[in-house]
Amino acid sequence: MSLKEQYWRYSLVAIILLLGILIFFQILPFFSGILGAMTIYILLRNQMLYLTEKKRMKRSIMAILLLCETILCFLIPLSIVVWVFVNKLQAINLDPHSLIAPVEHVAELIREKVGYDLLSKGNIDTILAALPKVGQFLMGSISSFTINVVVLLFVLYFMLIGGRDMEEYVSDILPFNKRNKKNILHEFNMIVKSNAIGIPLLAVIQGAVATLGYFIFGAPSPVLWGFLSCFATIIPIVGTALIWAPLALYMGMTGHWGMAIGLAVYALVVISNVDNLVRFMLQKKMADTHPLITIFGVVIGLSLFGFMGVIFGPLLLSIFVFCVNIFKVEYLEGEVRTRPKIYKP
């Protein structure tokens, strides 16, 4: 290769990198929508291929039809959740003392039992002053969510239109040989499906089981706490314990120790085992991801991608481990091993 050809090649690489970094930072506010479109595309891909390749349906019409399916099955339920959350937030902004009153009650109980003032008057006033700022932040997040939903639908439409041509283009630019391309795309597909289906399913099941327990043991506002338990399932390690443990403690401190102990036992025996059972079934049916990759992937993903990090955090970590294994086998050992360390040629 001549010096001029080397100059052209490396200059082109430098231009691609610089423009890519610039574009990346500009589209960062819409990244959740793009990742959401990728997730839903993987879930709808087989439907699209069946309708367009086997049934010979027009691609643009099928793309619109699948967009409608996305809106009905995913966006409308999610919007209802956001609407309920906004109503709750508005109620808190109108009457902040309704939120702080239970905390004050718990603080008073602690002061009576152990003589320690958990919340002084000054601390409570500080919390009340901070609530409007928290409300503004959350409302801004809701506005960002709305924009990303529009981006999701827009990007998803063109991904469905692109279909196999888009997939072949992405496959061609991956820096792997043919065998490793196939394996890493398979890994990508399995992990996204596992998390996109498994996490909402686990949240709904655990939330329902937790809500049942809150009703049985007489917890205050059982539907609200059950609703919060659904979202707590995505938090690594602690999960729903972040909700039921303080709730059981509050019930005990208000004099209902029997019910509080019953709720704690129910949560440890039933809710936790439901979590383990559902995860075990999903691992057998879908991606058998190591628990450490899931835990640390969620932690990393939430900070990088927001809510979509629940799906793409473990994926990012899995691909990192996969690439390290490829490097180890191809360049350090000079041989290829079977999965889970690397795929056999």
Chain segment 299-330, per-residue pLDDT in tens:
787 777 666 676 677 777 877 887 787 778 77
Chain segment 148-196, per-residue pLDDT in tens:
888 888 999 999 898 888 888 888 887 777 877 787 787 778 777 777 7
Share of the chain above pLDDT 70, in %: 72
What was the pLDDT predicted at 163?
83
Q: Is the pLDDT of residue 15 over 90?
A: yes
Residue 263 CA to residue 214 CA, distance in Å, equals: 7
pLDDT band at 40 (very low <50, low <70, confident <90, very high): confident
> Residue range 245-255: average pLDDT?
79
Which pairs with CB-CB distance under 8 Å and at least 24 residues apart come from 245-249?
Answer: 247/214, 247/219
What was the pLDDT predicted at 225?
82
Residue boundaries of the structural domains of the chain: 33-173
Q: Is 104 exposed, middle or buried (0-12, 13-18, 19+ CB in 10 A)?
A: middle
- Among 189, 65, 89, residue whose Cα is nearest residue 137: 89
What was the pLDDT predicted at 91?
57
Sign of dihedral through CA atoms 202, 64, 75, 145? Answer: positive
Number of H helices, E strands in the chain: 13, 0
What was the pLDDT predicted at 135?
57
Q: Is the pLDDT of residue 344 over 80?
A: no
Cis peptide bond N-terminal to 340, omega within 30: yes
Helices 76-94 and 97-114, packing angle to 10 deg: 70
> Residue range 61-86: average pLDDT?
80
Chain segment 124-160, per-residue pLDDT in tens:
566 656 656 655 655 556 677 778 888 888 999 999 8
Average pLDDT score over the chain: 76
Model-level pTM? 0.72
Most confident of 48-57, 108-117, 286-295: 48-57
